[in-house]
Every structure is written in structure tokens, then in C-alpha cells.
Structure 1
Amino acid sequence: MQLFVFHAAGDVPGDPQAPQADAGVVIDVLRATTTIAWALHNGAGSVAAFADLGSLAEAWSAWPEDRRLRLGERGGQRLEGFDLGNSPLAVSADVVAGKRLFMSTTNGTRALNRLQAVPLLLTACLPNRAAVVKRLLQANPDRLWLLGSGWEGAFSLEDTLAAGAVIEGLLAGAPAGSLEWGNDEALAALALWQQWRERPEEALRQASHGRRLQRLGDHDADFRCCSQVDGLDVVPVQTEPGVLGLA
């Protein structure tokens, strides 16, 4: 398995003649992929991800009113008129069970859109790290792309941190010699995780997006939730283009 890490959607190779991924993992620790994992854990039927708000509105309007919710943010703040923002604490079972979430965020849903054509597409966060590692080891793809969502096209520390956590798990579980470094970013992600693995919440708070959230208000509970490692046994998987479920 060759391991590649990309810091943002724009870093993913765009040449159709270049080798492509057999599996992809999209990561948006603060907070889209953490929210997706918790929503599915709490009984949401599916999460449909949209980079474009117009496409979201069209799809949402065609879904039964009693089985739909709009979830999203721009700049860390809930979109006007939406049912929910982008917090894993908001997607409790009493709110989301049995419903499709129509989701659009500043960065995470754009990253999902970028890897939509990958044959096996998962989302990861720190809470479901071990579950994602287990699924990847079972699938054993030849080329794995780990894509951080970044912030408006730029590097984000927390997403690369989580990519490193996934890589650490793969190294621990894969047969010796079966993993290869596809790019230097993958090795750097592992080193970043090794630096912060005992203090993940501190890393999230010091990251630029973590500081941005702190300026917007009290997000202490979100930080605690997003920095928990390996406590959530769910793997969001793309079941149809742009739609995530448990499969």
C-alpha cells in the first residue's frame, strides 16, 4: 500500500493520465468529518455532502420534509436558515435519527467532492481513527490518498495531524514491509502526530482554525469531542456519489 497525504483539495493530482487512488480518506477534524461520524453513529440515515449551496437546495427540496435536515457553515458559523451548524454535539440521536443530512461546509465538503470518483471513499477523524484503519487494512488498496480539507486551500495542522494518526495505525497493523511512502507529506504527517499524540486537544486549539473557532465563541465541548481518539466505532463510506452512510 502506497501512502499519500495531500493538505488540501487543490493539491490532489489533476492529470487523468497520472496514477489514481484505489481508496481515499477525507479528513476535516474541525469539524465536518467529526460531525459526519457522530451523525451516523447517532442514527442519521445518510449525509449528502455539497460544495455548492445551489445544488444542496435543489436536492434538499426533493426529499421528504420529515426526513431531511440542512447542516452547514461558512467561516465556522452556521449558515442562515439551516437547521444545524457544523458541530458534532448538535447531531444528537433525537435530532438526526432516520434523516438525511444535507451538508455544506467551508472546506470539508469541497474535499469530499474532489475525491468523489475514488472507488473506496471514507471519512476519518480522531474519534474513529481505529475503525478507519481496520477498514483500510481489510481493503488493502494499492494506492491510498489521505486528503486533509485544509482552510480555503491552505494547510491545516489538525487535518494533517489526523492523517498521521491513521498512518500510525496502518503501520502498526499491516504486515512488515507492505507499506510504502508515496510522498514526503505522508512521512511528515506521521512525524506531526508523533509530536502531538499525547496532547491532541492542545494541538487542535493551537492550530489556526482552532484559534479561529475560539474567537467565534465557546467551543470547548467541540474541542473535547474532536480530540478524542479511537472511541467511535463507525466508518462513513461513500455509498453513492456525494452521499455517505454506514456500509
Structure 2
Amino acid sequence: MQISYFHVPADMPEDCRPDAAVVIDVLRATTTIAWALHHGAEAVQAFADLDTLRSTAAAWPAAERLLLGERGGQRLEGFDLGNSPVAVTPDTVAGKRLFMSTTNGTRALDRVRQVPLLMTAALPNRDAVARRLLAKQPASLVIVGSGWEGAYSLEDSLAAGALAARLQELDSNAGADANDELTAAIALWNQWTHDPEACLRVASHGRRLIGLGDHDADFRCCAGVDQLDVVPTQVEPGVLKAA
């Protein structure tokens, strides 16, 4: 399996045509997606554009939809929820479609929506995603970090390294042909593996969230490794379901 990691979507070459892609946005979109589907959401539909989100959601039965929106770490006005994994409780999301747009994660998903096998990963579902990839055995895989407004993010590289390290633990041949960015991400994970939450907190976006208020519960949730069996998988462009 040839594996490449790109820090942000813009780093991915236009002519790159992988067999599979994994999008990561640790703080907090892909963590929120994983927990929402674990707690029974019918699907999460991701949007880069807010107007498209609103018009698509309006066609869905009101009792069966929730709007999740975040910009700059804060919930958008008029939306039901922001982008917190601890807010997507079973009582709130079970049986509902979540229409979601965030500062970074949903834009990264939009960049790779044409890839045949598209999944999202975070630290809580790292092992589940690794096992699914090994079961599918794509010849080429790209891991795409969401970054922060086009810039590198430490926490996404941490999770990319965690995923790659788990793949190598399960299959020594996985990632033998990796780019330098992935090799560096694995080294980052090896440095922080015993305290990933500390890494999230020193990352620039982690410090940004701390500045916005009390996000301790979010940090604990986002740093919890291998807690979920859910693998959010694209079933149609932009629509992720549990698999």
C-alpha cells in the first residue's frame, strides 16, 4: 500500500488519483463525525458552502435534520449545534441527518469527494479505520489533514502518524512506500503517544480553543485513542454513514 500524507488539501497535487483517502480534522470535525455516527445519526452530510447547506437541508424533513455549523471555533448563528463531539449525544442526533459545515474539515472532504473509497479518521476511531483499510487493501492511499485556514496543524499530523503507526503494527508492509510528510507524522506520534491530549493543547488551534472558553471535555474526547468501532464512509458525494 503506497501511503502519502498531505498537511492540507492544497498540498495534494491536482493529478493525484488515489484509490482511497482518509480525511483528518482532530479539532474537531472528524472527531464529531465519528461520535455522531456512533450515537446513531442517520448520516453526516458535509458542505464547504453554507448556502448550499441551507438549501439542501431545507428539503429534508425538519424533524429529521440538524444543522451543525462552525467558523473560527464558534457555532454559527441559527445552527442547532456547533462542532463539538460531546454535543452529539444519542438523544440529540439519533435517527437524524446532520448537515455540517466547518472552518476546515468539511472543506478538506470536498477536495477528495471523488475518491472511490473515502473515510474520515480521528484518534477515537484510529484502529477501526486502520483495520478497514487493511481489509480493503487499496493500492494507493492519501491521508489529508484539514489544517487551519490553509496552514499546517500539529494535531492533524499527530493523528495521521497515529493511523500510519497502527497500520504498520497490524501489517509490517503497510506504508513501506511513504512520503516524508508521513514519516515525520509517525515520529510526531511516537513523541506524544503517551499523552496525545497534551499535544492537542499545545497546538495552535488547541490554544485558540482554550482562548474561546472551557473546552476541556472536547479535548478529552478528541484525545481518546481507539474508543470507537465506527468508520465514517462516503456513500455518495458529501454523505458519510457508519460502516
TM-score, length of structure 1 as denominator length? 0.97
Shift of 1:58: 0.8
Shift of 1:178: 4.9
Within the candidate set 165, 180, 183, 1:184 is matched to 180
For 1:128, what is the secondary structure of its paired residue?
Answer: helix
- Asked whether the equivalents of residues 167 and 174 of structure 2 are also in contact (C-alpha less than 8 Å), the reply is no
1:28 is matched with 25
Q: Deviations over 1:136-155 (max 9, x none)?
A: 01011111100010000010
1:240 aligns to 2:200 (yes or no):
no
- Taking only aligned residues, the RMSD between alpha carbons, in angstroms, comes to 0.9
Amino acid at match of 2:153: S
* Distance in 1 between residues matched to 2:123 and 2:194, nearest whole Å: 13
Q: Deviations over 1:62-95 (max 9, x none)?
A: 0001100000100000000000010001100000
1:105 aligns to 2:105 (yes or no):
no
* Distance in 2 between residues matched to 1:188 and 1:144, nearest whole Å: 17
1:145 is matched with 142
* Distance in 1 between residues matched to 2:64 and 2:12, nearest whole Å: 35
Shift of 1:180: 2.6
- Asked whether the equivalents of residues 237 and 246 of structure 1 are also in contact (C-alpha less than 8 Å), the reply is yes
1:123 aligns to 2:120 (yes or no):
yes
* Distance in 2 between residues matched to 1:136 and 1:23, nearest whole Å: 8
1:61 is matched with 58
1:3 is matched with 3
Within the candidate set 92, 110, 113, 1:95 is matched to 92
Q: Deviations over 1:153-205 (max 9, x none)?
A: 0100000100000000110111x445333311010110110011111000000
Amino acid at match of 1:225: C
* Distance in 2 between residues matched to 1:8 and 1:120, nearest whole Å: 19
1:209 aligns to 2:205 (yes or no):
yes
Amino acid at match of 1:220: D
* Distance in 2 between residues matched to 1:102 and 1:35, nearest whole Å: 12
1:40 aligns to 2:37 (yes or no):
yes
Structure 1 unaligned spans of 5+: none
> Within 5 A, what are the aligned runs for 1:159-170?
159-170=156-167
* Distance in 2 between residues matched to 1:76 and 1:223, nearest whole Å: 13
For 1:73, what is the secondary structure of its paired residue?
Answer: strand
* Distance in 2 between residues matched to 1:57 and 1:224, nearest whole Å: 31
Shift of 1:216: 0.2
Pair 10,65 (structure 1): closer, same or farther in 2 beyond 3 Å: same
For 2:70, what is the secondary structure of its paired residue?
Answer: strand
* Distance in 2 between residues matched to 1:109 and 1:178, nearest whole Å: 27
Amino acid at match of 1:198: H
For 1:24, what is the secondary structure of its paired residue?
Answer: strand
Structure 2 unaligned spans of 5+: none
- Asked whether the equivalents of residues 26 and 147 of structure 1 are also in contact (C-alpha less than 8 Å), the reply is yes
Identity across the alignment (%)? 65
- Asked whether the equivalents of residues 164 and 175 of structure 2 are also in contact (C-alpha less than 8 Å), the reply is no
For 2:217, what is the secondary structure of its paired residue?
Answer: helix
* Distance in 1 between residues matched to 2:106 and 2:195, nearest whole Å: 27
For 1:152, what is the secondary structure of its paired residue?
Answer: coil
* Distance in 2 between residues matched to 1:246 and 1:139, nearest whole Å: 16
- Asked whether the equivalents of residues 181 and 187 of structure 1 are also in contact (C-alpha less than 8 Å), the reply is no
Using the TM superposition, name which of 181-190 and 137-146 deviates more.
181-190
1:14 is matched with 14
* Distance in 1 between residues matched to 2:46 and 2:177, nearest whole Å: 30
1:156 aligns to 2:153 (yes or no):
yes
